[in-house]
Chains A and B, each alone.
Chain A
């Protein structure tokens, strides 16, 4: 037989097996690591048409999120403000700064500033901002510490698991309604067990895990 199969073929099945296992493991590892929103979305930080800094406005000045995103409590959609809102201050502050040329132009012409949307759930997901912020879910849970971001980046994955993790156990992520827009708020010890559970009960929080809660 040694004439038909040379000696080195003895080890061939083992090598093929090891190779196949390695390849399989490599591909699996690659897919799990890369083919999820934790890789594809997190860290997305587009260049915006105007270099607006949330660090300065929401962090240092302490503006409430709702000064600009004033629809968030009433609507499923958290709006980007019109340039008029910027001009409430920037008609005096930095009023001739070239960085704000686009804002001034937009306020005058009514042509929107082409902001680049960062957090964009797929169109088959029906997320409602108002129900979340009005029931003690803070902006920071899904958007990260925006008040410390000079340029906003996609901080959380917003994957389906991300939603479900909280829907399965909402208590740890609820806070008093007056702290929802305070992104630096740190829950006191045992808050989730005592207050969080109380909020779930008192507010009749029914974080549905039914498909039709989000997919319609």
Chain B
């Protein structure tokens, strides 16, 4: 019995010392008890896949691909969610006046409070790290070596047509990278609406404020 207990204890100690405790850091992938069910032969996004060109499962779109969400009729107008669609010429997706290379002057979608709120949220996600909460180019990245970040209150940018801002967000300019992959066209217009509001916050005069709010400003 003594030997049995001794061996039992030794075994227990051996198991704990080899297997360790819950939550301890491990570099090895988790053990899967039934790997054939856990990992099925199907395509999952962003996983390596030897079958496909380049070994990647998330293949780039073939030129001219029309997404399934494309080209819905909304209030008698065709609406698509990607620029690479039959509507690729509409100003909503190009920022240009249809059929020309001229940038549209104003936002071609209805500017609502909802769009503005969306713009504020999206601005905070994608723009604020560099351009700063006020749009003055003093984002946190400035401290880390982003030397030249444009202030959005620059006259050049205030005077820029909305279509050109759309173009800059999508494709970048100078040292700024393009955000076309990250920000959908609809969200780009939302951000532009919010940027215009930011600019107005510095350019506006007290008389621009509706009369009932002027008193609150102390004027």
Contacts and interface: CB of A to CB of B under 8 A. Distances in A.
Interface of A: 15, 18-19, 22-23, 26, 30, 33-35, 37-47, 61-64, 66-67, 70, 77, 79-80, 82, 84-85, 87-89, 91-94, 111-112, 114, 117, 120, 122-124, 153-154, 178
A42 B24 CA distance: 7
Interface stretch (B42-50, B84-92, B102-110, B150-158): B42-50
B140 A62 contact: yes
A56 B195 CA distance: 27
B22 A123 contact: no
Given A19-B4, A93-B141, A114-B48, A39 B29 contact: no
A155 to B, nearest CB: 9
A94 B144 CA distance: 9
Contact of A92 (B4, B22, B145, B179): B145
Interface stretch (B32-40, B93-101, B160-168, B199-207): B32-40
Interface stretch (B70-78, B124-132, B210-218): B124-132
- Ordered nearest first, which 7 A-B pairs have the shortest CB separation? A88-B177, A122-B38, A123-B40, A64-B125, A93-B145, A41-B30, A40-B30
A46 to B, nearest CB: 6
Contacts of A66: 125
Contact of B8 (A26, A84, A87): A26
Contacts of A122: 32, 37-39
B209 interface: no
B26 A45 contact: yes
B111 interface: no
B19 interface: yes
A45 B25 contact: yes
Nearest to A111: B54
8 contacts: A39-B22, A40-B31, A43-B26, A61-B129, A67-B182, A70-B183, A85-B182, A122-B32
B27 A47 contact: yes
| Main SS at interface, chain B | loop
Interface residues of B, number: 52
Contacts, number: 113
B125 A61 contact: no
Contact of B177 (A80, A91, A111): A91
A68 to B, nearest CB: 9
A94 B145 CA distance: 8
Contacts of A79: 45-46
Given A19-B4, A124-B40, A45 B27 contact: yes
Contacts of B197: none
Interface string B168-185: 000000011111011100
Given A38-B23, A47-B27, A85-B182, 4 more contacts: A43-B26, A62-B140, A89-B141, A112-B46
A130 B47 CA distance: 20
Contacts of A124: 37-38, 40
Contact of B144 (A41, A45, A62, A93): A93
Contacts of B178: 84
Contacts of A87: 177
A56 B46 CA distance: 24
A56 to B, nearest CB: 9
A61 B33 CA distance: 40
Given A38-B22, A77-B45, A89-B130, A84 B145 contact: no
Of B22, B45, B54, chain A has the most CB atoms within 10 Å of the CB of B22
